[in-house]
Structure 1
Amino acid sequence: MPAPTVSYEFFPPKDLAGSFRLWDTLNVLAPYAPEFVSVTYGAGGTTRQLTHEAVTTIRKSTGLKVAAHLTCVDATKAETLQIAQRYADAGVTDIVALRGDAPGGGLFQPTKDGFKSSVELISALKNTGNFTLRVGAYPDPHPEAINTAQDIDYLKAKFDAGADAAITQFFFEADTFFRFRDACVKAGIDKPILPGILPIENWAGTRKFAARCGAQIPTWLEEAYAAAIRDGRADLLSTAIATELCTDLMEGGVDHLHFYTLNRPELTRDVCVALGLSPQVELAQVA
């Protein structure tokens, strides 16, 4: 079984210590030749400028293909498209287009004169002709969705609006992804759907994150971490679980894996090595 291609998600640094952590993460993971890396927005668009700085700096300093997250939150249509144009002017060719979360939680409310949905945003970005567009997908139902069928209908609408590929929210069992993938095919979706992998750095934090985004935690995983934490084996368990999940996905025909790194690269690196990836390149520059 050949090694997969990979991509990584980072979040923008908020201070000097965060900048060092991001560049350490890049130095650890860039040698595994990712097809692209992405940089997130904070909740409510709070890191918009930080995201722009991180995206443009990574691209300029490393030569990696960088996908910038862009949302509908807290900006007019004109302001959002101006941000996109700034990316295009900087040579950024990839965007992850998302609706985004409401500032402070609660239900999303469009900004006056802003995009009302990710479908509207995708259509406008597609019309610029400047970007490869990736979007979000939900193997477990989105917290605001009635069921998975509604999520799939909305994903199809995003592809019909011009999206080129989707990246899923993280999940814990390969069958969750396979059921979703099969349902997407049945609905007529034929664009790439990249599984999102979250190596579990901190079980308590992961449980909270899963609750917010609707990812279902199987009972066996709860029990495994309870025992591993008690015995001081949580890191070993995390590596084993992420590697097994990725292997199961690859055996099911997946050839690309997208890792949510949380700017902590060691576990993601260990999983990549376990999957057969070898270092290929080193960063020539860091900022």
Structure 2
Amino acid sequence: MWRTVERLAPLAPDYVSVTYGAGGTTRDRTNVAIRTIIERARLNVAGHLTCVGASREETLDVARSYARMGVRRIVALRGDAPGGASKFEPHPDGFASAAELVEGLSAIGDFDIAVAGYPEVHPEAESIEQETRYLKRKVEAGASRIITQFCFETDDFLRFRDRCEKAGIHVPIIPGILPVENFDKMRNFAKRCGAGVPDWMTKAFGYAKDAEQEHLLAVSIASEQCDRLVQEGVDSLHFYTLNNPDLTWDICRALGYEAAPLVAAGQAGAA
């Protein structure tokens, strides 16, 4: 994790996000990770929260622990069904949806809350219209921005943005970008979360002969997508690094971002 932070911190991201295990399974490690990033890299951090496997009070206690560390940004998610379960089942005393979680967070603190959006529609949604109405509920509950699931066809994101605008959703919408580290792994991941993998992409990676060519192809595809998104008025991009910083680094450099040396908090001196 620290290698990822050390590699990407010189690009001066607005924030970095740290995931959180369901039911508090990684709470201590999550808090250590957040504190380390704040103290050693002096970056803003967004802590994740889900509704899985915890009561309302337990979930809000995690948010309070984030606040004590100076974390104001939270990514509020319903969360996936735990391993072995066929569908999400809320804790008897827990939040039943991301909208309820957002309401709870808004009631206890001044958090900057991001929620998930699905350009290709959530796999459990009955229709695009239902999904759009639910996304609006999350915003009305107090969400200040939307981070989307990754998608590889930029037009899917643009149509999603248009639907949100038409529905009266006016918070910033940040596209999620997934650099392809391993094509087969990514394809399985995409299947689980309802993201499409275009035929042209499958063919392109089929022609790649080795890891170096796959890396160059992944950088090229993501850089082209990011460039078009920026041309279409997008002013923020959310990279899913999966703790592998090299692809994201190369994409950002291809987009023209200048990096500065990382200065740890204990090494800062007067200029």
TM-score interval, smaller chain:
over 0.9
Gap change, CA 1:216 and 1:266, over 3 Å in 2: same
Q: How does 1:37-76 map to 2 (within 5 A)?
A: 37-42=16-21, 46-76=25-55
2:73 is aligned with 1:94: yes
CA contact (8 A) 2:41 2:262 kept: no
Q: Of the two structures, which has the highest relative contact order with CA contacts closer than 8 Å and spacing of 6 or more? A: 1
What is the CA-CA distance between 1:235 and the residue it aligns to? 1.2
**Identity %, equivalent residues:** 52
- Farther off after superposition, 219-228 or 44-53: 44-53
2:177 is aligned with 1:197: yes
2:201 is aligned with 1:221: yes
Distance in 2, matches of 1:133 and 1:218, equals 31
What is the CA-CA distance between 1:255 and the residue it aligns to? 1.1
What is the CA-CA distance between 1:48 and the residue it aligns to? 3.2
Q: Which amino acid aligns with 1:151?
A: E
Give the alignment's TM-score, normalised by structure 2. Answer: 0.93
Q: How does 1:251-266 map to 2 (within 5 A)?
A: 251-266=231-246
For residue 225 of structure 2, what is the aligned residue in structure 1?
Answer: 245
For residue 234 of structure 1, what is the aligned residue in structure 2?
Answer: 214
Distance in 1, matches of 2:210 and 2:262, equals 38
The CA RMSD over aligned residues, in Å, is 1.7
For residue 149 of structure 1, what is the aligned residue in structure 2?
Answer: 129
CA contact (8 A) 1:152 1:184 kept: yes
What is the CA-CA distance between 1:42 and the residue it aligns to? 3.9
Distance in 1, matches of 2:207 and 2:2, equals 34
What is the CA-CA distance between 1:45 and the residue it aligns to? 5.6
Gap change, CA 1:114 and 1:163, over 3 Å in 2: same
CA contact (8 A) 2:22 2:53 kept: no
Deviations 1:8-45 (A, max 9, x none): xxxxxxxxxxxxxx111111100011001101124666
For residue 106 of structure 1, what is the aligned residue in structure 2?
Answer: 86
Which of 113, 125, 140 lines up with 2:120 in the alignment? 140
For residue 168 of structure 2, what is the aligned residue in structure 1?
Answer: 188
Deviations 1:151-201 (A, max 9, x none): 211110000000000100100011110000001000000000100000101
Give the gaps of 5 or more residues in structure 2.
267-271
What is the CA-CA distance between 1:231 and the residue it aligns to? 9.3
Which of 254, 261, 271 lines up with 1:274 in the alignment? 254
Give the alignment's TM-score, normalised by structure 1. Answer: 0.88
2:208 aligned counterpart, secondary structure: helix
Q: Which amino acid aligns with 1:55?
A: I
Give the gaps of 5 or more residues in structure 1.
1-21
2:46 aligned counterpart, secondary structure: strand
Deviations 1:235-269 (A, max 9, x none): 11111101011011111111111100011111100
Distance in 2, matches of 1:216 and 1:132, equals 30
What is the CA-CA distance between 1:53 and the residue it aligns to? 2.1
